[in-house]
Structure 1
Amino acid sequence: MHLLALIFGIVLLPKAQTLKCYECLPEGGGSCTDKQKECPAAGYQCGAMSITSYAGGAKIVDMNMKTCTLPDQCFEGSLNFGISKTVVATKCCTTDLCNSKPAAEPGKTNPNGKKCYFCNGNTCTGTLNCEGNEDHCITGAVVVGNQKTIVKGCASKLICSGVGNPQIQGLIGADISCCQGNYCNSASSTSAGLLLLVTPLVSLLMLS
C-alpha cells in the first residue's frame, strides 16, 4: 500500500517550478522600470545587484539592477586600484517577486592589514592598504583603443575567481592575475593614466 502511494505521488508530482522575478536592466547607466520575468529554469533565484564606483573619492557610478540569477552569482566584492574603486553587492532570494527592493550598498570598510602595490602616474610602487574583504593583490591589463595599460591593486577573492559573475573579469580586461601575500603583485614600472581606469567599468553595466 505504501509502495502504491509512493508511485502515485511520484507520477502526480508537478514539474519543478521556476521562479518569477522582477527584472530591471538599465541601459547606459540610466534608470529602468521593473518588469516581471519567469526564470529560464529551476535553480535560478531572484537577485538584485548594486554597483558603485568611485574615482578620486567621488562617486561616479551608482547603479542598481534586478534579474534572475544563479546562486553562485550572489556575492559581495570590491576591486580597488587606489585612485578608483568598484564595489559590487548582490542580494538573492528564493520566492516569487522577492527582489522588489534594491541591494543595499555596502557601508564604509576599514583597512584589513593586507598591502598591495598600486599604480600612480608612471610607476606602480605605491602602497595600497586593502579594505574589507579584499584579500588578494591583483594585476590586470586595461585595453583602450590600441593601448594596453597595466593596473594594480587589491581585490576580493570572488572578483579574482570570477565566480560571482562571468563578466567580472571585464572590469580589467581578459589579462588578470591575482595572488595572496603582501606586495605579491610586483612593483615594476608601467604607464597608467588615471582616466583609463574608469573605462573598464562599462562592462559591468549589464548582468549576464
Structure 2
Amino acid sequence: MHLLALVFGIVLLPAAYPLKCYECLPGSSGTCTDTEKECPSSSYQCGALRIASYAGGSELANVHMKTCVMADQCVEGSVNLGISRTVLTNKCCASELCNAQHAPAPSKSNPNGKKCYFCNGQECTATLNCQGSEDHCISTTVSSGGAQTVLKGCASKLLCSATQNAQLQALIGQEISCCQGDYCNSASSTSAGLLLLVAPLVSLFTLS
C-alpha cells in the first residue's frame, strides 16, 4: 500500500517547467527595455546583473542586464587592476518574472589587508591594496593594437572560479592566472577563469 501511494505521488507531482524571466540586454546606447523570455530549461533562474567600472574615483561604465541564468553565473565580486576596478553585483531568483528590479549598486568597500602587484605603464612592481572580497592576485597578457600588455591586480575568489574558465577563455582568447598570497602574481601562476573585462562579461550572459 505504501509503495502504491509513493508511485501515485511521484506520477502526480507537477512537472518542472522553465521559468519566464524578464530579459533586458543593453544595446550600443547602453540602455535596454524589459521583455519577457521563457528560459531554455528548468535549470535556469531569473537574474539581474550590474557591471560597474571605476577609474580614479570616476565611474566609467554602469551596465544593467536581465536574463535567464544558470546558478554558477550568479556570482558577485570585483577585479581591481590598480588603474581601474570593475564590480559585479547580482540578484538571482527562482520564481516567475521575479527579476523586475535591477541588481543593487555596489556597496562601499575598504582595503582588506591583502596585497598584490599591479602594472603602472611597463612596470608591474607597484603595490595594490586589495579591497572588499578581493582575496586573489591575478595576472594576464592582453593584445591591443598589435601590442602585448601585461595586466596584474586583485580579484575576488568567486571570479577566479574554474567553472567560468572555458567560456571566458573562448571569449577573450587569453590565459588568465589567479593565485593566493600577498604579491603571488610576481610571475605567472596557476591558470583559472576570471571575469576581467566588461565586454566579455556582457557576452557571457548574452550567449546563455
Q: In structure 2, give the amino acid aligned to 1:7.
A: V
Q: In structure 1, give the amino acid aligned to 2:11.
A: V
The residue that corresponds to 1:194 in the other structure is none
Alpha-carbon distance between aligned partners in 2 of 1:77 and 1:119, rounded to the nearest angstrom: 21
- The higher-RCO structure (CA 8 Å, 6+ apart) is 1
| Residue 200 of structure 1, CA deviation | 4.2
Contact 2:172/2:200 (<8 A) preserved:
no
| Residue 168 of structure 1, CA deviation | 5.2
The residue that corresponds to 2:126 in the other structure is 126
Contact 2:45/2:93 (<8 A) preserved:
yes
CA 1:55–1:29 in structure 2 vs 1: closer, same or farther (change >3 Å)?
farther
CA 1:94–1:200 in structure 2 vs 1: closer, same or farther (change >3 Å)?
closer
Q: In structure 2, give the amino acid aligned to 1:74.
A: C
**Which structure has the highest helix share of the two?**
2
| CA deviation string 1:45-103 (max 9, x = no partner) | 11000000012221111011001111111121100001101001111011100100000
- TM-score relative to the length of structure 2: 0.86
Contact 1:171/1:204 (<8 A) preserved:
no
**RMSD, aligned CA:** 2.4
- TM-score relative to the length of structure 1: 0.86
SS in 2 for 1:3: helix
Segments of 5+ residues of structure 1 without an aligned counterpart are: 189-198
The residue that corresponds to 1:193 in the other structure is none
Alpha-carbon distance between aligned partners in 2 of 1:119 and 1:82, rounded to the nearest angstrom: 7
Q: Count residues in correspondence.
A: 198
Alpha-carbon distance between aligned partners in 1 of 2:130 and 2:173, rounded to the nearest angstrom: 21
Out of 187, 196, 205, the position equivalent to 2:202 is: 205
Alpha-carbon distance between aligned partners in 1 of 2:86 and 2:162, rounded to the nearest angstrom: 15
Alpha-carbon distance between aligned partners in 2 of 1:172 and 1:108, rounded to the nearest angstrom: 29
Alpha-carbon distance between aligned partners in 1 of 2:30 and 2:46, rounded to the nearest angstrom: 21
| CA deviation string 1:8-64 (max 9, x = no partner) | 333333321211110101123611110111111112111000000012221111011
Alpha-carbon distance between aligned partners in 2 of 1:90 and 1:108, rounded to the nearest angstrom: 16
Does residue 137 of structure 2 align to residue 140 of structure 1?
A: no
| CA deviation string 1:86-130 (max 9, x = no partner) | 001111011100100000022110000000011112201110000
